[in-house]
């Protein structure tokens, strides 16, 4: 189809819908970790009618030493393990389950589980039962999120690059949105139970809006144009560009038998990362199953034009040798981050005598500060990619982030039995969090941007898949270490 016949994105409607969908993919995780004070309080007192986001209805601080469930640690671990497992599983689900079923099914599952979480606010139950139900919800919600994100990233392969950027921007705003929603609920002046209920209703509304946005998207002429063009490429109608996302009904029949060259479509989206989550293996496998790109899934490569020999299929080990340094760095970054955030940072208490500041201390200084500075760190790579030409320095710079582990553990984290508190003032914790989150965002985005630049153009997609795996590995390693660091307090 000629470029001049491409419909326009009227009023940037498709861009807005894509941004909202990006926001919706990370809302569940962020709403759970931001509500840690509520969950801790429920596990301590075990009474739903008296506990809100700030602790309890009277506003007095609860004795966190009674928390025997290690809620922060289990929340982190049971959030990241399904991310790792279902990111890999989603690479195979696309072959037998259509996109629409996976996306709407995942959104429906997330909605039902958040309705359950909101309902439990008004249900009195023993702490052990509440913990078990909540952990099961966390596991299944993040499983659905992994499938949802991978499927949406696959469909974004049909759109120009700027729409992938909008999707990632929406993901980056999810944490700030959740923190602001919690602050508004706490500052509303209503009773504690109503405050918690309104907070958990918010992601339900957000998920409903995301479902509506996804259903509206295929009716937009701009989106439909790129989806149809992708299907035509898969059918061999447009031999001048590589295939994007296959239509669900044509996936099983389309094979890599094309005689086209693997040319790079200038409108294909770049690899990106947001709040620890990036393009999944499905992106690679979907593009590989089309014409004109390497068929990574079935182990074959298309032949060149005029019957010449096709390009050599990218080798995982050869690509890994080129980017192993960056893969190591992404593991180190997320190992440090998830080992203390939120397992340690969410337990740091304020030394201020102000009751109001003490209530808002964790939502503001832990979650809001982290999400804003993390977003700024990611944005900084648009202007600076240092040390781009001296990559040997990168592991050293990333390794310096391990200093944040003892620094944050020596703040006013409670309960503690072994380590002393060296940094009593709130200002120290805020400074550490500013640098901790800013460096996290910068190094995550830096490594993901530099990885495709270290390999040949035809190897860049495989490099992205490898980096995605190591990113999820770093998240899981950090979640596991959080148990050790919590025990050392």
pLDDT score of 379 more than 90: no
Q: Report pLDDT digits (tens) over 337-375.
A: 999 998 899 899 999 888 889 888 988 999 999 989 988
316-489 has the same fold as 11-248? yes
pLDDT score of 296 more than 70: no
Give the whole-angstrom CA distance, residue 421 versus residue 409: 8
pLDDT for 125 equals 87
Q: Report pLDDT digits (tens) over 431-456.
A: 999 999 999 989 988 887 788 788 88
Q: Are the C-beta atoms of residues 175 and 275 closer than 8 Å to each other? A: yes
Comparing 57-71, 103-117, 382-396, 430-444, which segment has the lowest mean pLDDT? 57-71
* 59 pLDDT tier (thresholds 50, 70, 90): very low
Q: Are the C-beta atoms of residues 57 and 142 closer than 8 Å to each other? A: no
- Average pLDDT of the residues of the chain: 77
Give the whole-angstrom CA distance, residue 203 versus residue 161: 28
pLDDT for 163 equals 80
Domain regions of the chain by residue span: 11-248, 316-489
pLDDT for 246 equals 40
Q: Report pLDDT digits (tens) over 62-96.
A: 444 445 677 888 888 888 888 888 877 766 666 67
CATH of range 316-489; options 1.20.1530, 3.30.70, 1.20.58, 1.20.1250: 1.20.1250
Comparing 60-74, 83-97, 136-150, 398-412, which segment has the lowest mean pLDDT? 60-74
CATH of range 11-248; options 1.20.1250.20, 3.10.110.10, 1.10.760.10, 1.10.10.10: 1.20.1250.20
C-beta contacts of 382-389 below 8 A and 24+ residues apart = 385/446, 385/449, 385/450, 388/450
pLDDT score of 200 more than 50: yes
pLDDT for 446 equals 87
Could you tell me how far CA 443 lies from the centroid of its own chain?
15
* 45 pLDDT tier (thresholds 50, 70, 90): low
Q: Are the C-beta atoms of residues 318 and 294 closer than 8 Å to each other? A: no
Q: Report pLDDT digits (tens) over 234-273.
A: 555 543 444 333 444 444 444 433 333 333 343 443 444 4
Comparing 175-179, 209-213, 226-230, which segment has the lowest mean pLDDT? 226-230
Q: Are the C-beta atoms of residues 365 and 430 closer than 8 Å to each other? A: yes
pLDDT score of 396 more than 70: yes
On the 0-12 / 13-18 / 19+ scale of CB atoms within 10 A, 339 is buried
More confident site: 46 or 107: 107
Tokens of 90: 């989603």
pLDDT for 233 equals 58
Give the whole-angstrom CA distance, residue 32 versus residue 467: 26
């Amino acid at each position: 189809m000629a470029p001049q016949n491409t419909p326009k994105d009227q009023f940037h409607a498709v861009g807005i819908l894509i941004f909202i969908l990006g926001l919706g993919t990370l809302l569940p995780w962020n709403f759970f970790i931001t509500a840690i004070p509520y969950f801790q309080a429920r596990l301590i007192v075990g009474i739903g009618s008296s506990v809100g986001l700030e602790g309890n209805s009277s506003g007095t601080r609860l004795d966190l030493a009674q928390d025997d469930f290690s809620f922060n640690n289990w929340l982190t671990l049971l959030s990241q393990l399904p991310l790792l497992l279902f990111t890999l599983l989603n690479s195979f689900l696309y072959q037998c389950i259509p996109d629409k079923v996976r996306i709407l099914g995942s959104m429906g599952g997330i909605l039902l589980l958040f309705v359950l979480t909101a309902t439990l606010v008004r249900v009195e139950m023993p702490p052990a039962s509440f913990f078990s139900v909540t952990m099961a919800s966390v596991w299944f919600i993040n499983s659905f999120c992994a499938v949802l994100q991978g499927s949406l990233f696959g469909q974004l392969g049909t759109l120009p690059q700027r729409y992938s950027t909008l999707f990632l921007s929406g993901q980056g705003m999810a944490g700030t949105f959740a923190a602001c929603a919690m602050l508004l609920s706490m500052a509303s002046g209503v009773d504690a139970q109503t405050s918690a209920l309104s907070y958990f209703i918010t992601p339900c509304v957000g998920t409903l809006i995301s479902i509506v946005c996804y259903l509206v998207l295929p009716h937009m002429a701009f989106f439909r144009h790129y989806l149809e063009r992708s299907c035509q490429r898969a059918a061999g109608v447009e031999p001048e560009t590589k295939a994007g996302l296959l239509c669900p009904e044509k996936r099983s029949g389309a094979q890599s038998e094309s005689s086209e060259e693997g040319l790079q479509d200038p409108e294909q989206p770049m690899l990106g990362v947001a709040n620890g989550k990036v393009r999944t293996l499905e992106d690679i496998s979907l593009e590989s199953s089309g014409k004109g790109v390497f068929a990574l899934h079935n182990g074959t490569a298309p032949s060149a034009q005029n019957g010449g020999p096709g390009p050599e299929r990218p080798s995982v080990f050869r690509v890994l040798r080129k980017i192993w340094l960056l893969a190591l760095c992404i593991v180190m970054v997320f190992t440090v981050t998830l080992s203390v955030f939120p397992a340690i940072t969410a337990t740091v208490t304020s030394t201020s005598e102000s009751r109001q500041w003490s209530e808002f201390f964790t939502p503001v200084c832990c979650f809001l500060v982290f999400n804003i500075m993390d977003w700024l760190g990611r944005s900084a790579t648009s202007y600076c990619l240092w040390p781009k030409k001296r990559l040997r320095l990168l592991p050293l710079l990333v390794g310096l982030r391990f200093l944040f582990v003892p620094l944050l553990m020596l703040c006013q984290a409670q309960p503690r039995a072994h380590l002393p508190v060296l940094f009593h003032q709130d200002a120290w914790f805020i400074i550490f969090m500013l640098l901790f989150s800013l460096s996290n965002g910068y190094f995550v985005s830096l490594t993901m941007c530099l990885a495709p630049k270290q390999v040949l153009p035809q190897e860049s997609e495989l490099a992205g898949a490898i980096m995605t795996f190591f990113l999820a590995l770093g998240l899981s390693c950090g979640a596991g270490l959080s148990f050790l660091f919590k025990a050392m307090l």
